[in-house]
Amino acid sequence: MRYRTLGDRRVSAIGLGVMPLSIEGRPDDARALATVHAALDSGVTLLDTADSYHLPGAEPGHNELLVARALAAYGGDTDSVLVATKGGRGRPADGSWTVNGDPRRLRAAAEGSLRRLGVEAIGLYQLHKPDPAVPFEESVGALRELLDAGKIRLAGVSNTDVEQIRTAHRILGDRLVSVQNQYSPAVRDSEAELRLCAELGLAFLPWSPLGGIARSSLDGPSRKGDEPRFGAFRTVAEAHGVSPQQVCLAWLLARSPAVLPIPGASRPQTIRDSAAAAELVLGAEELALLDGAAVPVGRR
């Protein structure tokens, strides 16, 4: 496993997005725990969760509790594992994703996350999404209060634009360490945000990093979810004898030293395959081919 920097922490170049283990279609507990353990066995030291990762209408925190259980049950060393969680969203019974950036709500959410994770301070706490009904400065101010109180060690923001990142950086200084936005071959709207992260020394955590490169692409482009226009990823994968998903993650890592992909997984073999991407080195011609195949900036 190769490593990258997130604030003052050294973490695996590939993280695990734990969300699929708690939402609709989630696996049973045994497979969920085995998936997290497979990630740890593969050298993954960044686990990304949120209090809102649960079934619609259920109690918040299923995913955080699962992460805590998985770490407690793991037979190896977990001291180097950074658990990143998020607050500011909800999942009512209708299955929608609500947003609440009220500082009081964020402080209460962080307290709940602390209890569920069973830690004295959250490693990385992220504002899940800006709330249009609340001034962004006030939501970020809640993160500053949590930092000052020692409830969280590092702070991040998610689903933010360039100006919001600059605002968060002005308020939090070097205690802002990450930005988590959607970014993949299919969605490249956050190129400007990625460049800014590199400029400011922030980690950029792409969520849904395999967009356009479905797991089913291993079985042929006719399978649901695979997009033929991303066939270059298959071509490069065949040349290396690896999966298109590994190629996609390696391509993301090559985009910038700031990038830390957090692919989701719901079975052990999936995260093992993703983690192996950290060791895959692509040539300049291959990267140029993949750059051309990915959706241009601003188009989906």
Active-site residues, by number, are 53
Structure tokens, 4: 């990258």
Nearest to 255 by CA among 230, 290, 212, 217: 290
**CB-CB contact of 171 with 157 (8 Å):** no
Give the separation between CA 288 and CA 271, rounded to whole angstroms: 26
Check: CB of residue 82 under 8 Å from CB of residue 9: yes
Element (H, E) at 249: helix 244-255
Residue 206 per-residue DSSP state: E
Number of C-beta neighbours around residue 138 at 10 A? 13
CA dihedral 107, 109, 168, 101 (to 10 degrees): -100
CB 161 within 8 A of CB 149: no
In contact, 253 and 277? CB cutoff 8 Å: yes
Report CA 34 to chain centroid distance, whole Å: 19
Question: Measured between alpha carbons, how far is residue 195 from residues 100, 161, 209, 259, 267 in Å?
Answer: 28, 12, 17, 10, 33
Tokens 């605002």 appear where? 167
Asked if 22 and 53 count as a contact pair (C-beta separation under 8 A), the reply is yes
Check: CB of residue 49 under 8 Å from CB of residue 70.
Answer: no
Q: Are the CB atoms for 245 and 277 separated by under 8 Å?
A: yes
